[in-house]
């Protein structure tokens, strides 16, 4: 028989056969929409560094969220924009039962009880210094003191009705402490999504603008607790520790620059692997789209499909609202 016996192009000959032989698919079930919430009523603000994304009060958010939920969007992740008057060195507002996140969770779960509501468990929106932990006079992050605050924050979210609490702080041992506290208070069905492999990345800049922590953080670094971008094996250790402590799902953050970490994690662990297409990734992609360098829908869908190919089970993406409508017009 003459060469070539195998022609890989046979399965690329038409759109129909390409669809039939496609290995990975993106569906609305893969999407988690990260949203920035404001206190008050009938409020929305644009975010200069994230064109197309808004900060919203919960009533405005619900107006957008309800039709998306009807089209199949299953989950959101809430990130609060906290006024400076509620920020302090000890972040006590983080576990206020009548705080912004707690009130937002109650409102959304009342209106859309089947929607999965994920809350960010971290102190940086509430600290006057912008760090994810409580600090001493020398500016050092106090790991175990911070954990006590995170436990109270997570419990307040669970009591408000959050389906999933997502510790994003990277303190050592916080997953086990939060799991123990949830069980003790009989929040048995509250899942933990651990930000297990969260890197000290430059790609978080627009997010910090969005939640208003950039000014508080200033030129300070989070490198003493977030991971070194040069390290891969360390990420596997972090994920394994969080699963052992009771994490139900794990997160790799940022997303696309760390697809190798996602792939390795999927190969090693039998829990859902989530990834965050973070604000800097969004800003770069949207800038190219807005300048006419890339076609929006094709570029976004290809980027998200790459997450699926790497092994991601769920993707936090600021494009979730648009993608939901593209997938289910």
Band (210; pLDDT cuts 50, 70, 90) = confident
Residue 216, pLDDT > 80, answer no
Q: What is the pLDDT of residues 219-243, one digit of tens each?
A: 678 899 999 999 999 999 999 999 9
Give me the catalytic one of 198, 219, 263, 308: 198
Residue 315, pLDDT > 80, answer yes
Summarize the confidence of residues 194-202 as an average pLDDT.
Answer: 96
Q: What is the pLDDT of residues 34-71, one digit of tens each?
A: 999 999 999 999 999 999 999 999 999 999 999 999 99
The per-residue pLDDT for 96 is 97
Question: Strands 54-57, 44-46: parallel, antiparallel or unpaired by DSSP?
Answer: antiparallel
Residue 214, pLDDT > 60, answer no
State how far the alpha carbon of 40 is from the alpha carbons of 43, 64, 92, 102, 160, in Å: 7, 17, 20, 14, 18
CA distance 12 to 8: 7
Give me the catalytic one of 87, 222, 253, 308: 253
Determine whether 219 is exposed, middle or buried from the number of CB atoms within 10 Å of its CB (0-12, 13-18, 19+): exposed
Band (130; pLDDT cuts 50, 70, 90) = confident
Q: Is 137 annotated as a binding residue?
A: no
Residue 126, pLDDT > 90, answer yes
Element (H, E) at 37: strand 31-38
The per-residue pLDDT for 219 is 67
Element (H, E) at 253: strand 249-253
Asked if 198 is an active-site residue, the reply is: yes
Residue 285, pLDDT > 70, answer yes
CA distance 173 to 246: 11
**Among 106, 229, 197, 107, residue whose Cα is nearest residue 156:** 106
The per-residue pLDDT for 208 is 79
Query: Strand, helix or coil at 305?
Result: helix
Delineate the domains of the chain, giving CATH numbers in brackets.
Answer: 26-327 (3.20.20.70)
Q: What is the pLDDT of residues 11-32, one digit of tens each?
A: 999 999 999 999 999 999 999 9
Q: 206 near 50, Cβ under 8 Å? A: yes
**Among 191, 196, 193, 195, residue whose Cα is nearest residue 241:** 196
Greater confidence (53 vs 139) lies with 53
């Amino acid at each position: 028989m003459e060469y070539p016996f195998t022609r890989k192009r046979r399965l690329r000959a038409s759109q129909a056969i390409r669809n039939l032989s496609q290995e990975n698919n993106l569906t609305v079930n893969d999407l988690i929409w990260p949203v920035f919430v404001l206190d008050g009523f009938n409020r929305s603000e644009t975010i200069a560094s994230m064109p197309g994304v808004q900060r919203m009060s919960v009533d405005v958010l619900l107006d957008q969220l309800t039709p998306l939920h009807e089209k199949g969007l299953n989950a959101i992740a809430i990130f609060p924009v906290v006024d400076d008057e509620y920020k302090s060195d000890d972040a006590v507002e983080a576990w206020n039962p009548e705080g912004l996140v707690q009130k937002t969770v109650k409102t959304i779960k009342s209106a859309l009880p089947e929607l999965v509501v994920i809350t960010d468990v971290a102190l940086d929106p509430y600290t006057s210094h912008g760090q994810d932990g409580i600090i001493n006079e020398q500016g050092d992050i106090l790991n175990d003191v911070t954990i006590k605050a995170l436990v109270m924050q997570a419990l307040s979210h669970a009591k408000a009705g959050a389906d999933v609490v997502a510790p994003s702080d990277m303190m050592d041992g916080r997953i086990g402490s939060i799991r123990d506290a949830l069980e003790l208070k009989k929040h048995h069905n509250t899942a933990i999504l651990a930000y297990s492999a969260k890197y000290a990345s430059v790609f978080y800049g627009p997010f910090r603008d969005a939640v208003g922590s950039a000014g508080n953080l200033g030129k300070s670094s989070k490198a003493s607790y977030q991971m070194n971008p040069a390290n891969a094996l360390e990420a596997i250790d972090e994920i394994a520790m969080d699963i052992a402590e009771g994490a139900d799902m794990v997160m790799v953050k940022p997303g696309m620059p760390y697809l190798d970490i996602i792939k390795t994690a999927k190969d090693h662990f039998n829990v859902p692997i989530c990834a965050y297409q973070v604000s800097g990734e969004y800003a770069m992609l949207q800038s190219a789209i807005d300048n006419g360098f890339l076609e929006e829908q094709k570029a976004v869908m290809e980027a998200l499909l790459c997450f699926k190919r790497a092994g991601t089970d769920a993707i936090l993406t600021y494009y979730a609202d648009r993608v939901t409508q593209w997938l289910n017009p």
